[in-house]
C-alpha cells in the first residue's frame, strides 16, 4: 500500500493513476469519491459538501468509513495507491489499524514536495473532468475530457474549492492538520520518501518510481 502525501495541487491526482498503472494496483482518491458522492446527492455527499466547499477537512469518521469499505473490496487485495487519503493523525492511525486487520501493511508514504507559489499557479489553471475527475492544467472549462477511450462524455469544470478563498483555507489546513502526519509516520517507523514535485509529469513519475526502488 502506497500513500501519496502533499499539499493540494502538488500533483497527487495526476500521478496516482500513472503510478497505480505501473504498479498494477488500483488507485483510491478520497477527494474523487467525495466529489462523485456530492454530484450524485448521496448521504455521503450530503455529509461532506459543506466541508469541501469551504476547503475544510471532512470529519475523520466519514473518511475512515470510506476507507474501511474500499480496502475490504477484492480489487484492493494486492495493494493500492492512496491519493489524499491520509490528512490527519487519527486517519493515519485508522489506516494502519485497518491494514493490520486485513493482514496488510504500508509500503511507503511518498511526500510530494513543492512550494506554495507553484501550487497557487497550478490550481488557478486547473480544471477537472466532471465524470472521471482527471485533473488538467491550462484547459478551459467546457472542453471535453480526453482521458478515456472511448470518451466518457465528461466535460472539464472548475472545482468549487479551487477558488482563492477555499485554496487559502486548504493550505492552512495542510499546514495545521496534515503536515504533522509526516512526522507521525517517521516516528512510527513507516517508510517516508520525499520527491521533488516540480517538473514534467513524466519526470515526477520517474522520481517516485525510483524512490520506491521500482
Ligand atoms: P482533494 O481532491 O484530495 O483535494 O480533496 C478535496 C476535498 O475533499 C478536501 O479539501 C476535503 O474537503 C475532502 N477530503 C478529501 N480527502 C480527505 C481526507 N482524507 N480527509 C478529510 N477530508 C478529505
Predicted TM-score (pTM) of this structure:
0.93
List the catalytic residues.
12, 87, 126, 159, 170
pLDDT, averaged per 10 consecutive residues of the chain (214 residues), comes to: 97 96 96 94 96 96 94 93 97 95 94 94 94 93 88 92 94 97 96 97 98 93
Distance CA 97, CA 105 (A): 9
Greatest alpha-carbon pair distance for the chain in Å reads 46
- For the chain, the domains span 2-114+175-211
Distance CA 6, CA 70 (A): 22
Class of domain 2-114+175-211: alpha beta
Tell me whether the omega of the peptide bond preceding residue 127 falls within 30 degrees of 0, making it cis: no
Cross-strand partners of 104: none
Q: Which residue has the cell 489499524?
A: 97
For 125-167, the pLDDT digits (tens) are 999 999 999 999 999 999 999 987 778 889 999 999 999 999 9
Q: Please give the C-alpha separations between residue 112 and each of 56, 115, 171, 193, 204, in angstroms, as whole numbers.
A: 20, 10, 14, 9, 9
Q: What is the DSSP letter of 135?
A: E
CA-nearest residue for atom 12, ligand 1, is 52
For 81-97, the pLDDT digits (tens) are 999 999 999 999 999 99
Q: Please give the C-alpha separations between residue 172 and each of 106, 175, 198, in angstroms, as whole numbers.
A: 27, 5, 21
Q: If you measure from the C-alpha of residue 121 to the centroid of ligand 1, how many angstroms do you get, rounded to a whole number?
A: 20
Q: If you measure from the C-alpha of residue 170 to the centroid of ligand 1, how many angstroms do you get, rounded to a whole number?
A: 9
Ligand 1 in reach of 70 Cβ (< 6 A): no
The DSSP code sequence of 64-120 is HHHHHHHHTSGGGTT--EEES---SHHHHHHHHHHHHHTT----EEEEEE--HHHHH
Amino acid at each position: 500500500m502506497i500513500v501519496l502525501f502533499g499539499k493540494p495541487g502538488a500533483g497527487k491526482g495526476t500521478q496516482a493513476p500513472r503510478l497505480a498503472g505501473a504498479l498494477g494496483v488500483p488507485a483510491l482518491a478520497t477527494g474523487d469519491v467525495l466529489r462523485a458522492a456530492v454530484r450524485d446527492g448521496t448521504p455521503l455527499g450530503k455529509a461532506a459538501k459543506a466541508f469541501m466547499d469551504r476547503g475544510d477537512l471532512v470529519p475523520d469518521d466519514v473518511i475512515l468509513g470510506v476507507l474501511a469499505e474500499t480496502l475490504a473490496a477484492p480489487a484492493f487485495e494486492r495493494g493500492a495507491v492512496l491519493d489524499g487519503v491520509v490528512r490527519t493523525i487519527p486517519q493515519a492511525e485508522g489506516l494502519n489499524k485497518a491494514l493490520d486487520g486485513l493482514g496488510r501493511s504500508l509500503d511507503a508514504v511518498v511526500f510530494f514536495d513543492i512550494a506554495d507559489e507553484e501550487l497557487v499557479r497550478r490550481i488557478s489553471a486547473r480544471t477537472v473532468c466532471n465524470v472521471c475527475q482527471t485533473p488538467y492544467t491550462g484547459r478551459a472549462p467546457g472542453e471535453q475530457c480526453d482521458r478515456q477511450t472511448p470518451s466518457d462524455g465528461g466535460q472539464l469544470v472548475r472545482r468549487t474549492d479551487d477558488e482563492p478563498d477555499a485554496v487559502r483555507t486548504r493550505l492552512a489546513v495542510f499546514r495545521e492538520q496534515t503536515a504533522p502526519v509526516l512526522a507521525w509516520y517517521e516516528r512510527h517507523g513507516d517508510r517516508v520518501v520525499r520527491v521533488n514535485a516540480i517538473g514534467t509529469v513524466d519526470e515526477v513519475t520517474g522520481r517516485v518510481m525510483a524512490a520506491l526502488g521500482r
